[in-house]
Amino acid sequence: MRTKEILSLLYREFLLEWKQKYAFNGLLLYVVSMVFVLSLAFGGSIPPKTWNIIFWITMLFVAINAVAKSFMSENRGITLYLYSLASPFSIIVAKWIYNCLLMLAFGFITYILFLFFSPVETGNAGHYLLVVGLACPGFATALTLVSAIAASAENKATLLAILSFPLTIPLLLTAISAGRKAIENQPVSDSASLILFLLLFIVIIATVSFILFPFLWRE
Partner 1 sequence: MKNARAQKYRWIYKVLALALIAFAIVAGFAIDRQQLTKDFGGESWRNIFFHVPMWYAMMVMFFYSCWQSMQFLNKGNLKSDGKAVNAAHAGILFGLLGLSTGILWARVTWVREIESGELQAWWAGDPKQNAALILVLIYLGYFLVRSSIAEPVRKAKVSAVLNVFGAAMIVPLLYIVPRVAAFSSHPGSGEEGILAALKSLDAGQRMIFYPSAAGFILLGIWLTELRSRIAEAGEKINDALANSTPS
**Site of interaction with partner 1 (CB under 8 A):** 142, 145-146, 149-150, 152-155, 159, 162-163, 165-167, 169-170, 173-174, 177, 180, 193-194, 197, 200-201, 204-205, 208-209, 212-213, 215-216, 218
Q: Which is nearer to partner 1, 105 or 170 (CB)?
A: 170
Q: Considering the complex, what minimum distance in angstroms separates the CB of residue 204 from partner 1?
A: 7
Q: Which amino acid is at 140?
A: A
Q: Considering the complex, what minimum distance in angstroms separates the CB of residue 216 from partner 1?
A: 5
Q: Which is nearer to partner 1, 39 or 147 (CB)?
A: 147
Q: How many Cα atoms within 13 Å fall on the side-chain side of residue 5?
A: 14
d(CA 133, CA 100): 10
d(CA 130, CA 127): 5
Please state whether 47 falls in left (phi above 0), alpha (psi between -120 and 50) or beta. beta
Q: Considering the complex, what minimum distance in angstroms separates the CB of residue 105 from partner 1?
A: 25
Q: Which is nearer to partner 1, 33 or 185 (CB)?
A: 185
d(CA 12, CA 4): 12
Q: Which is nearer to partner 1, 34 or 176 (CB)?
A: 176
- Residue 175's contacts (CB-CB under 8 Å, 6 or more residues apart) are 56, 59, 131, 135, 138, 198
d(CA 60, CA 103): 10
Q: Which is nearer to partner 1, 20 or 186 (CB)?
A: 186
Q: Considering the complex, what minimum distance in angstroms separates the CB of residue 213 from partner 1?
A: 8
Q: Considering the complex, what minimum distance in angstroms separates the CB of residue 170 from partner 1?
A: 4
Going from the C-alpha of 40 to that of each of 28, 35, 37, 56, 118, the distances in angstroms are: 18, 9, 5, 18, 9
Q: Which is nearer to partner 1, 37 or 204 (CB)?
A: 204
Q: Considering the complex, what minimum distance in angstroms separates the CB of residue 26 from partner 1?
A: 25
